[in-house]
């Protein structure tokens, strides 16, 4: 993008400067509400108005992007908030993985049920399991 700007802007700048310095006549500017007259070289006036136009264009361009800059600031704030949330969730997940590993170790240490107990547990109803759990408590 910078190359294209230079490719267009540099020849344009050269043409404007050549035009400005070829026209060396004196010009009188009348500043109407104040009744002030200024006499300057036309080349100085052309360069001044070109620079003034560039600055004003840059300023209005900056103003037109104000809503975009505001949205970007809000997105950055939201991203920071979401990153903190993600880090909290990752820590929580790591804790859950540790608990899972501990439970697997505990389960590995428990005696394994025999085939008969497994078959018996398959045919038990949920109501009897709930009743046994209440009795144990």
Q: Residue 122: its pLDDT value, please?
A: 79
Average pLDDT, stretch 40-64?
91
C-alpha distance from residue 111 to each of 101, 108, 114, 115 (Å): 18, 8, 9, 13
Q: Is 137's pLDDT higher than 60? A: no
Q: What tokens were used for 93?
A: 């997940």
**Does this model's pTM top 0.85?**
no
Q: Domain segments of the chain: what residues? A: 2-64
Helix 42-64 / helix 66-109 crossing angle, nearest 10 deg? 30
Question: Which residues does 121 contact at the CB level (< 8 Å), separation at least 6?
Answer: 113
Q: What percentage of the chain reaches a pLDDT higher than 70?
A: 90
Q: Residue 71: its pLDDT value, please?
A: 96
Comparing 63-67, 96-100, 103-107, 118-122, which segment has the lowest mean pLDDT? 118-122
């Amino acid at each position: 993008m910078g190359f294209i700007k230079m490719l267009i802007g540099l020849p344009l700048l050269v043409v404007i400067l050549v035009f400005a310095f070829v026209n060396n006549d004196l010009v009188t500017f009348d500043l109407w509400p104040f009744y002030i007259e200024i006499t300057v070289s036309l080349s100085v006036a052309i360069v001044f108005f070109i620079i003034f136009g560039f600055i004003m264009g840059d300023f209005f361009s900056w103003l037109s992007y104000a809503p975009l800059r505001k949205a970007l600031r809000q997105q950055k704030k939201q991203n920071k908030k979401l990153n903190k949330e993600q880090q909290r969730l990752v820590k929580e997940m790591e804790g859950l993985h540790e608990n899972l590993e501990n439970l697997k170790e505990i389960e590995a240490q428990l005696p394994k049920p025999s085939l008969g107990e497994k078959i018996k547990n398959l045919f038990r109803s949920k109501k009897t399991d709930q009743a046994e759990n209440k009795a144990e408590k």
